[in-house]
């Protein structure tokens, strides 16, 4: 019986396609795992690297034009990723996406709207969402590009 012949929906993906995706994922994990260096002894961690991490954090406000906390940066990045994918992340799901409580997300969203970082998107039914302002998207792109060129993890 072919998918959908019984009147129901057929499988979204075939087993062959799922297997191909799993093999590709495993290859990527192996490739990136080779790049990880686990440092379990404190003397192996270069203090210049630690200071570099602090410097990178201070770059946030330089690039974005305002102070931004870890949680606020997580919101900015989640909305930016959704926009890059051509979609929107409803406000109700933002808190879950970045791992903060709903009141915290609401507070930060209001603050980011006030800062001009977020603009309220056109309402879709009952869904409220925000988008990055053009200026913030440009500044975030520059920040991420700089962080990537430094070979650093964005913190």
- Look up the CATH number of the domain holding residue 60: 1.10.10.10
Q: Are residue 14 and residue 53 in the same domain, yes or no?
A: no
Flag whether pLDDT at 2 surpasses 90: no
Contact 78, 154 (CB under 8 A): no
Q: Are residue 16 and residue 70 in the same domain, yes or no?
A: no
Please, what sign has the CA dihedral across residues 140, 134, 110, 77?
A: negative
Contact 64, 143 (CB under 8 A): yes
Structural domain includes residue 41: no
| Residue with more model confidence, 76 or 129 | 76
Q: Are residue 31 and residue 101 in the same domain, yes or no?
A: no
Q: What is the mean pLDDT of residues 112-131?
A: 83
Using CA atoms, how far residue 19 sits from 12, 15, 16, 27, in Å, is: 14, 6, 5, 12
Number of domains making up the chain: 2
Kindly report the pTM of this predicted structure: 0.65
Which DSSP category does 2 fall into? -
Contact 139, 63 (CB under 8 A): yes
Range of the domain at 106: 46-149
pLDDT at 109: 93
pLDDT tens, 70-121?
899 999 999 999 999 998 888 888 899 899 999 999 999 999 999 999 998 7
| Residue with more model confidence, 59 or 107 | 107
The secondary structure of 79-93 as a DSSP string is HHHHHHTT---BHHH
């Amino acid at each position: 019986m072919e998918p959908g012949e019984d009147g129901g929906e057929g499988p979204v993906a075939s087993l062959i396609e799922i297997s191909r995706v799993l093999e590709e994922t495993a290859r990527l994990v192996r490739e990136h795992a080779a790049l990880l260096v686990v440092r379990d002894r404190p003397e192996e961690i270069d203090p210049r690297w630690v200071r570099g991490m602090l410097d990178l954090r201070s770059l946030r406000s330089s690039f974005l034009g305002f102070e931004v906390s870890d949680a606020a940066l997580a919101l900015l990045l989640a909305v930016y990723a959704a926009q890059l994918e051509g979609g929107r992340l409803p406000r109700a799901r933002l808190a879950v996406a970045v791992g903060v409580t709903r009141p915290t997300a609401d507070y930060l969203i209001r603050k980011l709207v006030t800062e001009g970082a977020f603009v309220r998107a056109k309402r879709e039914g009952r869904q409220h969402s925000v988008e990055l302002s053009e200026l913030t998207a440009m500044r975030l792109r520059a920040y991420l590009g700089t962080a990537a060129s430094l070979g650093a993890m964005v913190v």
